[in-house]
Structure 1
Amino acid sequence: MEGQVEAVLVSEFCEFGEMNLSKTQLGSGTFGCSHYRRRCKIRAPCCDEIFDCRHCHNEAKNSLETNPAHQHDIPRHEVKKVICSLCGTEQDVQQYCISCGVCMGKYFCAVCKFFDDDISKNQYHCNECGICRTGGKENFFHCKNCGCCYSKLMEDGHRCLEMAMHRNCPVCYEFLFDSTEKISVLPCSHLIHFECLKEMELHHRYSCPICSKSICDMSKLWKKLDEVIASTPMPEIYRSKMVWILCNDCGAKCEVQFHIVAHKCLNCNSYNTRQTQGAPTASCSTNVVEMVR
């Protein structure tokens, strides 16, 4: 039935004279799904079912309605068969249909078995990553230690973090390496989805969810906290109380005067700190004294 429907579509193209277009343009932008514009579908090697793309497969097979025992992702490099969207011919993976000759994707990668008609994304295949990426190969460099591609704009100041992208986003927990969403690199070198980062900022969260380091210049806020603390004297009973703190930004440990609002690092002046149980070299009994002193 699917082949018959597609055959009608081909006849419609003929009727409106679109068959006069080149094979590259024929049907371009007309077929595909919410993820990609392309003129073919794929047969999943894992479940032998037909889907518009690998994302359509993964969404369907990992939905809440699917039995957990049957949930799975498609092995993208193992796709062997594609179905032309114009004539319905099933065939081996290739860029041009063996039956009607139409180009099934202006961008085609034989390694990833990937088709896409929207070449404005400037797709390219990274041999080191082993997958296709967007943005133009000339604009990115691959860091072997991090195991992923970064913008050349940050090449000079790049700080390596081993297998940085081979982790889940710390907010939404989607695997970052093959995510289709924009990814941001924090100053601490941890990675996070751009939209997840924006969501954090909307909720006034300005520290890395992984290491707790500040994600931007917080100096203006620190000055504001200086003013708040100066205008908020503590009761007499707490004025001599000292506590040990650990700075999330520089890692320094120092002893400071207790304040209900915040504690300032004496090394880097950051208020991104946390109270610890006592002096770094203190004994267990001394720790208790430090906490109540």
Structure 2
Amino acid sequence: MAATGPEGCEHYRRGCLLKAPCCSRFYTCRLCHDGSEDHIMDRFQVREVRCAKCGKDQQAQQSCEDCQNVFGEYYCSICHLFDADKKQYHCEKCGICRIGPKEEFFHCSKCNLCFAMALQGNHKCIENVSRQDCPICLEDIHTSRVAAHVLPCGHLLHRTCFEDMLKEGYRCPLCMHSALDMTRHWQQLDTEVAQTPIPLEYQHMMVEILCNDCTTRSTVQFHILGMKCKNCNSYNTAQDGSSHVSWPSRE
């Protein structure tokens, strides 16, 4: 059984332990349970709790029926979530509790996820996007306690995974679209390309490229530092695998 006290565990501040419906063992939270057992606890099926202060076993509720110890400033009777007040709210469409305040978020029916109001009408929808695992750590996004970061392409990463990704690159690991506004970087690359001559034998070499940002195909002059999309000016391009290299005809 996980160690606990009035302040709960490393995951949540709470004054009770949950009786796992699967194995009848008491744990401070589902995460403590899942880390110790070889099975997953269904939080929605929790029916009993044990007061961490007086040890009274009782039905799940916000405070102890014997000593009035408050199990959580916030309590959801659906998720059986007890925690400090973080302006949480239960989203019926997500099926779980989210950190609010509620008025600062909206639920996108197509993405099937709550987003900050700033993204309302200002994000690319992908159906049930949060039901996919994070492509970096391969762990669940929808029920994760780690906030999700929405990329311009619409895909989601854990925020911590997004920050780690930026140490190695700038592209979405799923679709290769730029994950940041790269305008200033492309302008700097324009200067570097202009200042970097290429060998004479490659100066008239033309290649077909595919832009990862706008999906446009174009034929451009080859350059070792990068090849710029004619449509959106992005250097996030790759030589089209089905293309051919062309050279000027010679007499």
Instruction: Give the TM-score of the pair, scaled to structure 1.
Output: 0.79
For 2:165, the aligned partner's letter is: M
For 2:133, the aligned partner's letter is: N
2:139 paired residue number: 174
Query: What percent of counterpart residues are identical?
Result: 44
1:48 paired residue number: 24
For 2:112, the aligned partner's letter is: G
Structure 1: how far apart are the matches of 2:127 and 2:28? 35
Maintained 8 Å contact 1:243/1:278: no
Shift of 1:142: 0.8
1:34 paired residue number: 10
Structure 2: how far apart are the matches of 1:222 and 1:114? 47
2:69 paired residue number: 102
Shift of 1:192: 1.2
Q: Displaced runs of 4+ in structure 1, greater than 6 A?
A: none
Shift of 1:292: 7.4
1:155 and 2:120 correspond = yes
Structure 1: how far apart are the matches of 2:204 and 2:242? 16
Select the structure that is richer in helix: 1
Bigger radius of gyration, 1 or 2? 1
Deviations 1:79-120 (A, max 9, x none): 12111111111122122223323222221111111111x11x
For 2:219, the aligned partner's letter is: E
1:245 and 2:209 correspond = yes
Maintained 8 Å contact 1:31/1:38: yes
2:174 paired residue number: 210
Partner secondary structure for residue 131 of structure 2: coil
Partner secondary structure for residue 186 of structure 2: helix
Maintained 8 Å contact 1:243/1:291: yes
Structure 2: how far apart are the matches of 1:32 and 1:102? 13
Is the deviation greater in 104-113 or in 245-254?
104-113
Partner secondary structure for residue 165 of structure 2: helix
Maintained 8 Å contact 1:242/1:255: yes
1:122 paired residue number: 87
Deviations 1:160-207 (A, max 9, x none): 11111111112122211011112211111111122222222233x111
2:79 paired residue number: 112
The unaligned stretches of length 5 or more in structure 2 are none
| Equivalent residue in structure 2 for 1:135, among 83, 100, 122 | 100
Deviations 1:124-164 (A, max 9, x none): 11111111111211111111111110111221323311111
C-alpha change, 1:31 and 1:219, in structure 2 (3 Å) is closer
Partner secondary structure for residue 165 of structure 1: helix
Structure 2: how far apart are the matches of 1:164 and 1:224? 34
1:19 paired residue number: none
Maintained 8 Å contact 2:123/2:152: no
Shift of 1:244: 1.1
Question: RMSD between aligned alpha carbons?
Answer: 1.9
Structure 1: how far apart are the matches of 2:34 and 2:12? 14
Structure 2: how far apart are the matches of 1:265 and 1:78? 54
For 1:242, the aligned partner's letter is: M
1:11 paired residue number: none
1:17 paired residue number: none
2:130 paired residue number: 165
1:59 and 2:35 correspond = yes
Shift of 1:47: 2.2
For 1:48, the aligned partner's letter is: S
C-alpha change, 1:96 and 1:30, in structure 2 (3 Å) is closer
Is the deviation greater in 137-146 or in 92-101?
92-101
C-alpha change, 1:277 and 1:105, in structure 2 (3 Å) is closer
Instruction: Give the TM-score of the pair, scaled to structure 2.
Output: 0.91
